[in-house]
Structure 1
Amino acid sequence: MTLTIFILLTLIAAYGFWLLFEKAGRQGWEGIVPFYSQWVQARILGKPAWHVALLVVPIVNVFVFYNLYLDFIHCFGKRRFWENCAAVLVPFIVLPLWGRDKNVKFLNGLYTKNLKAGKTDGKELTKAHELTILHDSYQEYRTKYPYKKSMVREWADAIVFATVAATLIRGFLLEAFMIPSGSMQQSLLIGDYLFVSKLNYGPRVPNTPIAFPFAHHTMPLFGGKAFSELIELPYKRLPGFQEIKRNDVIVFNAPAGDTVAVENQDIPYYDLVRMMGRDAVHQQFTIQTRPVDKREHLIKRCVGMPGDKISMQEGVLFVNDQPGFVAPESQMDYMVATDEAGIDEQRLKDMGIEAALVQPGLYKIFLTPSQASMVKSWSNVKAMQMNLEKPGVAQVNTFPNDPQYQWNYDNFGPFVIPRKGMTVPLNAQSLPLYGRAIQVYEHNLLEKKADGYYLNGHKTNSYTFNMDYYWMMGDNRHNSLDARDWGFVPEDHIVGKALFTWMSWNADGRGLSKVRWNRIFKGIH
């Protein structure tokens, strides 16, 4: 539904820009073709050609785009601040209105006058000649109705406006993300570029409002923190369109990302401490803490809701004692034995299948159920078995990382996901499961003394949660760092709902096959 609304509003805005281009004496379609539209605008406005080339440079392209776009809007007399804001924030409203308003004229009619003068030689008007007349008319317009700003001031205004507009859009409406890892294969692929909606679940008010624009937690080029903790606001979420639903694909801040080893951020800090020891980690790495909204972004499927009973038995997820949802494109890894000829690894790669040679004639391959059936049918495959951990055998870095729970990624639980208002007893069995949520996520001082447990200085034998929590897992069950490592995801870590892929780039492809054309504007389910 959200994707449909987004596409509809985009089409309405494009229709409005089509009408404005027609008012400017151009073909309407020219206004909605990426890059070509900006090239025409640059020619009209007398901007150098390298402006258009900058549209491929990340971050810089935002400022260039808005500079061209707003200057073009100014050609219709729309110079007021609120008109500029409306053109950026609600183009699907104002562009069609301006396009259909007979009183809104391009360059106040100067173009029409000069166009007629350009035809007096009796020759057919070429596109190049037309662009020249447009440009000359723009210069005459600037002379007749001069801006009271220097070029530096114009650019400064455009940069400030673009920064504020883009920050508001990214913070409260939509944000683009890229899939860097294979934890959601094959549902989402490495190189998929997504749009994530902040509106569905309600946008969060930033915890750290003082931050460098367009950077998340680290300054580009120079390194170091891209945010200031001088002002820290409490968690607050604005109203959204919907509640989180079981099996939604969600972007969220890493729960274990409150502390990071800067030189080795691929492995959670707490995993490093368990592997190397705290002293060794602090001696070898630079340790940095981050507020909630500046922790690393992750994308997983929400398989468990607040209050759900979760367990996993021999690789099968159970939710409230019923088999959980399995995405059709979810993967597991298999040990595949072949004859001496082996498997054509390039063939697998072309099919988007990950494979690793364990020893001659033995491969570890990540497959969806349909892919597993296909590979099993190949004549040179002799044996094939899903690679599962045995029950009761503890696996390193498996939640809750406590000796009394001999759990692994394929066998764990059961336990109940905390929900707001749920009360749990405080004892040796519950603390490994819920202790981090009580102390870190809900900011309580929990102490064990000789006569019992103390919460913020008061003796108690139970705790009632103040937030809802969720259980997030990757569809690629054996190649995903997820809740099985770091546990519950608090509601204040939720960023937004993944809507659709707007671009997909295959780094292993060749030529035009580098773009996965079948994934462009593909919805995420």
Structure 2
Amino acid sequence: MNLQALLGNFALILFVLMVLTGVIWFMDTYFWSRQRRAKADAALAEFDARIAKNASDGVKSDTSSRAKIEADLLRQPTWIEYSGSFFPVIALVFFLRSFLYEPFKIPSSSMVPTLLVGDLILVNKYTYGIRLPIVNKKIISINEPQRGDVMVFKYPKDTAVDYIKRVVGVPGDKIVYKNKHLTVNGKEVSYKPLPDYLDDENLTYYKQWQEDLTGVDHKILTDERAPNFVPNPDAFPQHELCSYNTEGFACTVPAGQYFMMGDNRDNSLDSRYWGFVPDQNIVGKAFFVWMNLGNLKRIGSFH
């Protein structure tokens, strides 16, 4: 794993920090604190013996320093004190983001109008099963991804990178995308025209549609200036299950894999270009926008 991939794997960094601080906390709780206690007891015993000897010699001694001696010898070194304080916090964060919910930031416009650049979203990590952190191996199956789900996954060409797209094909599905309209297993997906969508950044209008993806309604965008065909798709694994022509493409989704597309259909690099998403790449289901610093009205659930 190169340095960039390592730095990009926050879960691994968090795990390493949790282990390091946990080991330090354990050693201090069960060994180093006892050693400090023993040294303090020995020093106090010596102090008390000296005070007793002075008293027997008729010399009155100042005993106010006894508490300071004990406190100084029992005080944790700074690095141990900070490690012990951080360990429960790091462990809690690691557990929450590994098994319950993980935050992500939307970096691109591929999911517009559903998700905008700058949206801070929450991803449910257990909807599709419990997975071991770091290795992302599923150990408990719960639900399977369904058509229409907005899913975060490891980019098949670089698993250090997280992508977010919509599931349009599950294992066994035959997906046809012809003239910018989907057909799933021989059934045409219905489209309802909506008012054109204004892209504020580029000051460009796009066609907006209400797409009913086998019972899941959501909005999509298409660009009339973009071609219907897929330019230069990769030779991805099992690409022989897909065929391309001037009107679009057709793909049969293999077992254990998923076909993903962005809602901004003509501005999304997705399964049309780089292929299927294996089950082992799944991170979780996106379900909530918890913040957008540029637009607080964005906060809330989405389809």
User: Secondary structure of 2:114's match?
Assistant: coil
Alpha-carbon offset, residue 175 of structure 1: 0.8
Q: Distance in 1 between matches of 2:145 and 2:290?
A: 23
Q: Distance in 2 between matches of 1:369 and 1:479?
A: 15
Q: Distance in 2 between matches of 1:330 and 1:418?
A: 37
- Residue number in structure 2 paired with 1:523: 301
CA contact (8 A) 1:353 1:366 kept: no
- Residue number in structure 1 paired with 2:208: 368
Which is strand-richer, 1 or 2?
A: 2
User: Secondary structure of 1:256's match?
Assistant: coil
Alpha-carbon offset, residue 244 of structure 1: 1.5
Q: Distance in 2 between matches of 1:503 and 1:300?
A: 19
Structure 1 runs, 4 residues or longer, greater than 6 Å off: 325-332
- Residue number in structure 1 paired with 2:85: 158
Counterpart amino acid of residue 262 in structure 2: G
- Residue number in structure 1 paired with 2:105: 178
Return the match for 1:200 from 124, 127, 131.
Answer: 127
- Residue number in structure 2 paired with 1:422: none
Counterpart amino acid of residue 280 in structure 2: D
- Residue number in structure 2 paired with 1:255: 156
- Residue number in structure 2 paired with 1:300: 165
Compared with structure 1, are the counterparts of its residues 328 and 501 closer, same or farther at alpha carbon in structure 2 (3 Å cutoff)? farther
User: Secondary structure of 1:155's match?
Assistant: helix
Counterpart amino acid of residue 252 in structure 2: V
Q: Distance in 2 between matches of 1:190 and 1:501?
A: 12
What does 1:1-40 align with in structure 2 at a 5 Å threshold? none
Number of residue pairs matched? 219
Return the match for 1:355 from 175, 196, 202.
Answer: 202
- Residue number in structure 2 paired with 1:501: 289
CA contact (8 A) 2:207 2:224 kept: no
- Residue number in structure 2 paired with 1:470: 258
- Residue number in structure 2 paired with 1:75: none
Alpha-carbon offset, residue 406 of structure 1: 4.2
What do the CA deviations read for 1:413-452 (whole angstroms, capped 9, x no partner)? 1x31011xxxxxxxxxxxxxxxxxxxxxxxxxxxxxxxxx
Q: Distance in 1 between matches of 2:110 and 2:130?
A: 25
Alpha-carbon offset, residue 206 of structure 1: 3.4
Alpha-carbon offset, residue 330 of structure 1: 11
User: Secondary structure of 1:252's match?
Assistant: strand
- When the two chains are superposed, the root-mean-square deviation of aligned CA atoms in Å is 3.5
Counterpart amino acid of residue 156 in structure 2: P
- Residue number in structure 2 paired with 1:396: 232
TM-score between the two structures when normalised by the length of structure 2: 0.62
What do the CA deviations read for 1:442-469 (whole angstroms, capped 9, x no partner)? xxxxxxxxxxxxxxxxxxxxxxxxxx11
Q: Distance in 2 between matches of 1:327 and 1:250?
A: 24
Alpha-carbon offset, residue 328 of structure 1: 8.7
CA contact (8 A) 1:399 1:484 kept: no
Alpha-carbon offset, residue 331 of structure 1: 8.5
Alpha-carbon offset, residue 313 of structure 1: 0.6
CA contact (8 A) 1:300 1:473 kept: yes
Q: Distance in 2 between matches of 1:163 and 1:473?
A: 35
CA contact (8 A) 2:171 2:254 kept: yes
CA contact (8 A) 2:131 2:140 kept: no
Counterpart amino acid of residue 322 in structure 1: K
Q: Distance in 2 between matches of 1:197 and 1:482?
A: 21
Aligned pair 1:412/2:249, yes or no? yes
Higher relative contact order (CA closer than 8 Å, sequence separation 6+): 2
- Residue number in structure 2 paired with 1:135: none
What do the CA deviations read for 1:239-272 (whole angstroms, capped 9, x no partner)? 2543211110000000111xxxxxxxxxxxxxxx
What does 1:71-470 align with in structure 2 at a 5 Å threshold? 150=76, 152=78, 153-208=80-135, 236-257=137-158, 292=159, 295-324=160-189, 348=198, 352-355=199-202, 365-369=205-209, 386-390=224-228, 395-397=231-233, 405-407=243-245, 411-413=248-250, 415-419=251-255, 468-470=256-258
Q: Distance in 2 between matches of 1:331 and 1:170?
A: 38
Q: Sequence identity, in percent? A: 34
Compared with structure 1, are the counterparts of its residues 394 and 303 closer, same or farther at alpha carbon in structure 2 (3 Å cutoff)? closer
Aligned pair 1:487/2:275, yes or no? yes
Compared with structure 1, are the counterparts of its residues 477 and 326 closer, same or farther at alpha carbon in structure 2 (3 Å cutoff)? farther
Give unmatched runs, 5+ long, in structure 1. 1-61, 63-80, 82-142, 209-234, 258-291, 333-347, 357-363, 371-384, 420-467, 507-515
User: Secondary structure of 2:131's match?
Assistant: coil
TM-score between the two structures when normalised by the length of structure 1: 0.37
CA contact (8 A) 1:331 1:477 kept: no
CA contact (8 A) 1:315 1:388 kept: no
CA contact (8 A) 1:250 1:495 kept: yes
Q: Distance in 2 between matches of 1:175 and 1:328?
A: 34
